[in-house]
Amino acid sequence: MRQKSENIFQFGLFENENALPKIVRKYRAEYREINDILAKTPKIVGLAHKDFETLGKSTAGRISSFSSESLLRALIVKQKEGLDYREACIRISESEFLQDFCMFSRKNSIDYTLLCKSFCAISPQTWELINQSLANQSIKNESIKVDVIRTDSTVVETNIHWPTDSSLLWDVYRVIDRIFGKIREIDSATVPFRFHHKKLKNLHIFVTRYASSKSKKRQRQVNGKMKKLINRVETAVTKVSIFLDVVTRSTEMIPLIEELKKLMPSMNKVVSCAHRRWVNGEKVPVEDKVFSIFEPHTELIKRGRRDKPVEFGHKIVLNQSKEKFITGYQVLEHKLDDSALLESVIEQHEDQFGKKPTGLVADRGFCPDNDTLAELCDEIEFLEIPRCNRDFADAILSSAQQFRAGIEGSISCLKRASRLSRCFFKGFRNFSSAVGSAIFCHNLMVLSRKLG
């Protein structure tokens, strides 16, 4: 009979590494391999150090307690373990092994706010250079070969709700109400008017609830409520514009005024698109729309997926070697068709490694026009891209496509293990940095398991 309480796990009892469970030894071995990789590639820490130098002005001296290498290793732990900042700090603080890996003293562990600022300090360009340095060092050590690569694209979603006209208008109104409420607390005379957010919320809820109704009566009610919602939000945005023109700035109001100014272009776009669609009866093109006032850089992307026909985020392009090492990547601020990306993939590979790949495999979406394809076939010895289903009857191309399918597994791993299915960072800069850091940690894991 199992006892109710028993001291089965005794910390500090296992001094001999061989006495640890197999899964723990494997876990520690991966970190030891990562430690060796970082030691053999000092350029990585040097690149991160240049960006970490900017932290000294905004962290009130806390940065002086940690070296750049310690901060970078803490970020690697966070990414590898798939944790948020608070959980990562707790995991590092409570594990002597991870403290040793991060080069922290036992009595001094990192704070989650400093860890967050450390991540934001590294620019997307630095992450690209870090990944290039790791790839070049891996080629030098003969850990990977980049003669033959496979490429594919995927979408990383931004952290937004499903955008509808009513929900976006409600976002505009509630943000205006929140900011003006704070301004009113500072100086009530500055804002002589009030916003009735409960009435607006009821309009938004009514439109959301009955927008898909097939009843003609309900549809007439939805149109009437929607026009009323648009009119009231337009009035609120107009009041904000007038306020920004006449307000006299005080020290306490500056952050709130700057926030309003930053959001105003997106707010104007939301109101304009809703007015054009519901009042003027226009069909608004995608290029004129904004899908979130908080993440205005978000794009609508259709890739023909059965389970998710429409995605909101950005397209990324990945190049991978047969060892599953991601040799290069692109984060596209403005979407392009896959057929227009093949030349940029080859150019990026040539810029990084000094020569074009001898072999490249991609899916049918990357197939360019016949003239471009013929030109690329003269430059690359092994270019296997199907143009139609009949091409799969060819044994060589069919085998090449089996090789290409390996990158699908890596994309799935990036989205599940590295949390790239949805990016929770604000702004396109931090979005690109999140992609770069996830790919860097993926490559570290590939090399550590290969060397281990």
Q: What is the pLDDT of residue 452?
A: 67
Q: Classify residue 315: in a domain, yes or no.
A: yes
Q: What is the structure's pLDDT at 16?
A: 67
> Is residue 4 one of the residues assigned to a domain?
no
> Is position 295 within any domain?
no
Q: Which tokens hold the place of 99? A: 């403290």
What per-residue confidence (pLDDT) applies to 11?
38
What is the residue range of 53's domain? 17-121
| Same domain membership, residue 325 and residue 241 | no
Q: Residue 452 falls within a domain, yes or no?
A: no
Whether 189 and 131 map to the same domain: the answer is no
Which residues lie closer than 8 Å to 380 by C-beta, 6 or more apart?
346, 356, 357, 358, 359, 360
The answer to whether the predicted template modeling score (pTM) of the entire model surpasses 0.75 is yes
**What residue ranges of the chain have pLDDT lower than 50?**
1-14, 60-61
Is 379 contained in some domain? yes
Q: Compute the distance between CA of residue 387 and CA of residue 384 in angstroms, rounded to an integer.
A: 10
Note whether 71 and 132 are same-domain residues: no
| Whether 102 and 202 share a structural domain | no
With respect to residue 262, please indicate whether it lies within any of the assigned structural domains.
yes
State which of 244, 260, 288 marks the end of a domain: 288
- Please check whether residue 268 is in contact with residue 244, taking contact to mean a CB–CB distance below 8 angstroms: no
Residue 445 lies in a domain: no
Query: Is 82 in the same domain as 108?
Result: yes
How many structural domains compose the chain?
A: 3
Same-domain check for residues 103 and 149: no
Please indicate, yes or no, whether residues 282 and 385 belong to a single structural domain of this protein.
Answer: no
Residues 354 and 387 in one domain: yes
Q: Domain check: are 99 and 193 in the same one?
A: no
Predicted local confidence at residue 249, as pLDDT: 65
Beta strands in 189-279 (DSSP E): none
Q: What is the pLDDT of residue 57?
A: 54
> Do 188 and 269 sit in the same domain of this protein?
yes
| Cα 191 to chain centroid, rounded | 38
106 and 132 both lie in a single domain: no
Instruction: Identify any residues that bridge with 361 across adjacent strands, giving them in sequence order.
Output: 150, 384
Q: What number of other Cβ atoms are within 10 A of residue 28's Cβ?
A: 15
Shared-domain flag, residues 194 and 255: yes
Tell me what pLDDT residue 250 has. Answer: 67
Does any domain span residue 432?
A: no
